[in-house]
């Protein structure tokens, strides 16, 4: 007997990419209100990669999210990262839970620019990137949101 796999459920896992600001706006909407402990962010300097393991609210479920709000663990991966800066985050407190409000891109010298992850509580992470290359991939089965509530989300 084998364990159930996410791919076998009725819900399809997300696996999206963004190569421009318009694509990133879709990913930004899907990761809004995602939460993650500070210990689940990594800059893999040698690989020029910044990775977050997030607990993403499943906004794509539409009206069903109100009746049975769900989250899913996802990898949010930024490639071509040359520098990482943060503000308003106590990096020594790895138990701190952070919440993503938005993700945006500002081009500096095409195709390079900065990705800005705006966090609740006035925190922010800024990534200097050679070019915009982002992936969002669900890595677990959806689970009932522990709060059993749907976050406030402007439509």
Residue 73 pLDDT > 60: yes
Pairwise CA distance, residues 32 & 60, whole Å: 11
Rounded Cα distance, 31 and 55, in Å: 9
Report the distance separating Cα 119 and Cα 23, nearest Å: 20
Q: How far, in Å, are 37, 103, 107 from residue 90 at the CA level?
A: 11, 20, 28
- Measured CA to CA, the distance from residue 75 to residue 139 in angstroms comes to 7
- Cα 30 to Cα 28: distance, rounded to the nearest angstrom: 5
Phi, then psi, of 41 in degrees rounded to 5? -120, 135
User: What is the radius of gyration, based on Cα positions, of the chain?
Assistant: 16
Check the CA dihedral 146-58-15-41 and report its sign: negative
pLDDT above 90 coverage of the chain, percent: 70
DSSP string, 138-151: E-S--EE-TT-SPP
Q: Please give the pLDDT value at position 64.
A: 66
Average pLDDT score, the chain: 89
- Residue 75 or residue 59, greater confidence: 75
Helices (H), the chain: 21-31, 64-67
Q: In 10 A of CB 18, how many CB atoms?
A: 21
111-115, long-range: CB within 8 Å, 24+ apart, which pairs?
Answer: 115/24, 115/78
Q: What is the mean pLDDT of residues 95-123?
A: 95
pLDDT band for position 8 (cuts 50, 70, 90): very low
Please check the confidence at residue 27 and state whether its pLDDT lies above 80: yes
What pLDDT, on a 0 to 100 scale, did the predictor assign at position 11?
67
What is this structure's pTM?
Answer: 0.88
């Amino acid at each position: 007997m084998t364990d159930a796999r996410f791919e076998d459920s009725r819900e399809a896992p997300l696996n999206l990419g963004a190569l421009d600001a318009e694509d990133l706006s879709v990913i930004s909407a899907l990761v809004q209100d995602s939460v993650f402990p500070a210990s689940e962010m990594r800059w893999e300097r040698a690989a020029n990669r910044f990775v977050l393991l997030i607990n993403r609210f499943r906004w794509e479920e539409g009206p069903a999210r109100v009746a049975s709000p769900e989250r899913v663990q996802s990898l949010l991966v930024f490639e071509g990262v040359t520098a990482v800066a943060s503000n308003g985050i106590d990096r020594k407190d790895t138990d701190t839970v952070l919440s993503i409000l938005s993700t945006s891109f500002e081009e500096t010298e095409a195709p390079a620019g900065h990705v800005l992850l705006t966090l609740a509580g006035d925190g922010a992470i800024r990534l200097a990137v050679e070019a915009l290359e982002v992936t969002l991939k669900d890595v677990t089965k959806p689970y009932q949101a522990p709060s059993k509530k749907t976050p406030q989300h402007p439509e």
